[in-house]
Amino acid sequence: MSKNKNAKKTDKKGPGRPSYQIKWPTGKFTFTDLMIANEVNPETGKGKFCTKLTLRKGIDKDMFHLDKNGNIDKDKPRRDSLIVKTDETRPPESGLGRNSFVFVRRSKLQSTKSTKSKGTSKATVDYEAQKAALLAPVVDITPPEPVSTPDPVVTAPEPVTAEVAVTQEPVTS
């Protein structure tokens, strides 16, 4: 007979302290941001109600399936997890160590993707310009008709009068 009369036979671990309910930050966050939101000191890793280890295990339980022994299997990610690890990284806060991973709530993931797509890359702009040039209507390429230039106006020279002819001296060499 079991010592605890209130325990149900279907309980795997029996009664005990309930698991800590993690407070998830809004928007994108790093693990340090998660520790600050749950009142855990980032330097010591200890807080009033939870520790850094509690938060680390909480993220892993949310993001990955458990194996048959109840351990976290990081080879099997969950598709319905609340938190998603993005491809983005941030520089370390302490100046030492490796870059921090960036997490985001799955419900906020679509809004971050749409804000990212507002800024188009140069390759996208080039592609769209080529596509527009190829889909533009075909223009008939015929050589332009030569433009006729107006003939210069030729004015008739003034008639030479007898007086002008007399005043000219013959040229002798």
79-90 pLDDT, tens digit per residue, is: 888 999 998 999
56: left (phi over 0), alpha (psi -120 to 50) or beta: alpha
Burial class (CB in 10 A: 0-12, 13-18, 19+), 38: buried
Q: Is 52 helix (H, G, I), strand (E, B) or coil?
A: helix
Query: How far, in Å, CA of 47 to CA of 52, rounded?
Result: 8
Give residue 167's pLDDT: 56
122-146 pLDDT, tens digit per residue, is: 788 888 888 888 887 776 777 777 7
Q: How many C-beta atoms lie closer than 10 Å to residue 67's C-beta?
A: 11
Sequence ranges of the domains in the chain = 31-117
Give residue 116's pLDDT: 55
pTM: 0.54
Give residue 94's pLDDT: 72
Computed from CA positions of residues 32, 34, 40, 44, in that sequence, does the dihedral angle turn out positive or negative?
negative
E-strand ranges in the chain read 64-66, 72-77, 83-90, 100-105
Query: How far, in Å, CA of 8 to CA of 2, rounded?
Result: 10
pLDDT of the chain along its 173 residues, tens only?
A: 556 676 555 556 667 888 899 999 988 999 999 999 999 999 999 999 999 999 999 999 999 998 888 888 888 888 888 999 998 999 887 777 888 899 998 888 776 665 555 567 778 888 888 888 888 777 677 777 777 777 777 676 676 665 655 556 666 66
Query: How far, in Å, CA of 160 to CA of 164, rounded?
Result: 7
